[in-house]
């Protein structure tokens, strides 16, 4: 955790330094103004920590304001950096062309103020667009034909939510919008593939009630994600269970003789002694045979030894990068990055883009998703 925080603030601090240097170059800030701007940027830099501290003290209204301000700034400064780097690459290309061609191309170099104000305006526009995209949930439909459904069942519908990150940002209005899409899908079973919560879990009674009141025919099932550890595993699991979910932690259940649903803890939980370390192939083998089996697993990593033991794995975690072009990083880390995949043994793996947001309440070219899976009898 300490290493993560050090790495995060080293990189995030670098973005703030870059922004400050660009600002100073564009407007030749006097020393007095630099002394004013510097502490303000420092305050925005540490705002994620201030949000956590204020939340623990119960200052809910102030925490909400700080969370929206700090995290929207986080999205903005990331986009500002990306656009600025693109402009830097253009300037580098002009510079090299000038040196190689031995000609004066100074007229192609934008002035310092444009170098700052151009990315500033573009980043603001993209951040505003991404804010609204993050609330525009998009159902993704997946139809699987299978001979493993009972003779009396023609279709069985599973709806997946993932990475809701209920907390200071995703609550009330946003959550209502997401769950309305779930209800409209009329699930037989609702599953959550981790990171349902992301806060101190205080004063989330309305969110809990909304989750609990989602109508389903055969039940709700969930697994832990890495943010359940950050929020506190015991309290996170308790919240999830009170919301009406059965939390599967290295175990599986048979649902009305129609499907098997199994789930495992996230490595962030098991790696710190708070979860059950199990061999997937082992516990999946204990489920009723000949029944369509769904494995819930937060991170989109497939266990080759277990692939023939399940028919469909549902995962999340990657958010598809959440804010373009960060998806290039997440795609490098996770081979199964977003969407639908066939595994070598014939099973399928679906990776959700996630329903909520982590950090900035912004999504860019990665709209929030609920996944509607229809199992259809052959």
**Segment 229-238 mean pLDDT:** 87
Q: What percent of the chain has pLDDT over 70?
A: 97
User: For residue 200, what are the contacts with CB-CB under 8 A and spacing of at least 6?
Assistant: 52, 55, 56, 231
- Do the beta carbons of residue 288 and residue 254 sit within 8 Å? yes
Round the average pLDDT of the chain to a whole number and report it.
Answer: 92
- Residue 271: is its pLDDT beyond 70? no
**C-alpha Rg value of the chain to the nearest Å:** 24
- Per 3-state DSSP, the chain is made up of helix, strand and coil in percentages (nearest 5) of 45, 20, 35
pLDDT of residue 203: 77
For 139, the 3-state DSSP assignment is: strand
User: For residue 152, what are the contacts with CB-CB under 8 A and spacing of at least 6?
Assistant: none
Nearest to 284 by CA among 298, 270, 305, 314: 305
| Residue of higher predicted confidence among 155 and 378 | 155
Distance CA 263, CA 243 (A): 18
pLDDT band at 171 (very low <50, low <70, confident <90, very high): confident
Distance CA 151, CA 171 (A): 41
Strand 251-255 to 259-263 pairing: antiparallel
Q: Which of 114-128, 200-214, 248-262 has the lowest mean pLDDT?
A: 200-214
Domains and CATH numbers, the chain: 2-132 (no CATH), 139-377 (3.60.21.10)
For 170, the 3-state DSSP assignment is: strand
For 261, the 3-state DSSP assignment is: strand
The token duo for 238 is: 């308790």
**Burial degree of 20 (CB within 10 A; 0-12, 13-18, 19+):** middle
Distance CA 94, CA 109 (A): 8
pLDDT of residue 204: 85
- Residue 339: is its pLDDT beyond 90? yes
Most confident of 91-95, 195-199, 206-210, 317-321: 317-321
Q: What is the pLDDT of residues 2-40, one digit of tens each?
A: 787 788 889 999 999 999 999 999 998 888 888 889 999
Host H or E run for residue 47: helix 47-56
User: For residue 327, what are the contacts with CB-CB under 8 A and spacing of at least 6?
Assistant: 320, 321, 337, 338, 365, 366
- Do the beta carbons of residue 276 and residue 250 sit within 8 Å? yes
pLDDT of residue 273: 55
pLDDT of residue 360: 96
């Amino acid at each position: 955790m300490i290493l993560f925080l050090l790495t995060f603030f080293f990189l995030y601090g670098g973005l703030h330094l870059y922004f400050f240097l660009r600002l100073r170059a564009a407007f030749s800030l006097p020393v007095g103004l630099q002394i004013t701007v510097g502490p303000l940027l420092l305050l925005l830099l540490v705002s994620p920590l201030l949000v956590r501290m204020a939340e623990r003290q119960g200052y809910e209204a102030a925490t909400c304001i700080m969370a929206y301000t700090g995290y929207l700034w986080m999205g903005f400064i990331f986009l500002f950096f990306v656009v600025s780097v693109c402009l830097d690459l253009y300037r580098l290309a002009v510079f090299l062309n000038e040196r190689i061609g031995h000609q004066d191309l100074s007229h192609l170099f934008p002035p310092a103020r444009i170098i700052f104000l151009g990315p500033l305006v573009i980043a603001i526009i993209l951040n505003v667009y991404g804010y609204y995209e993050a609330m525009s949930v998009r159902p993704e439909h997946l139809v699987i034909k299978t001979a493993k459904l009972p003779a009396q069942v023609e279709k069985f519908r599973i709806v997946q939510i993932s990475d809701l990150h209920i907390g200071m940002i995703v609550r009330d209005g946003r959550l209502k919008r997401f769950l309305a899409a779930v209800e409209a899908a009329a699930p037989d079973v609702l599953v959550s593939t981790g990171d349902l919560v992301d806060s101190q879990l205080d004063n989330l009674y309305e969110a809990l009630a909304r989750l609990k009141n989602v109508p389903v025919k055969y039940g709700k099932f969930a697994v832990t994600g890495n943010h359940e550890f950050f929020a506190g595993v015991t309290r996170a699991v308790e919240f999830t269970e009170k919301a009406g979910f059965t939390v599967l932690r290295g175990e599986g259940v048979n649902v009305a003789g129609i499907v098997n649903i199994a789930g495992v803890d996230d490595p962030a939980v098991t790696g710190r002694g708070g979860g059950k370390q199990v061999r997937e192939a082992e516990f999946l083998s204990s489920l009723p045979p000949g029944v369509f089996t769904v494995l819930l697993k937060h991170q989109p990593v497939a266990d080759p030894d277990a692939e023939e033991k399940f028919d469909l794995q549902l995962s999340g975690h990657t958010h598809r990068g959440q804010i373009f072009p960060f998806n290039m990083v997440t795609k490098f880390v996770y081979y199964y990055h977003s969407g639908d995949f066939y595994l070598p043994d014939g099973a399928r793996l679906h990776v959700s883009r996630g329903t909520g947001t982590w950090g900035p309440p912004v999504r860019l070219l990665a709209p929030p998703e609920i996944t509607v899976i229809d199992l259809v009898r052959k």
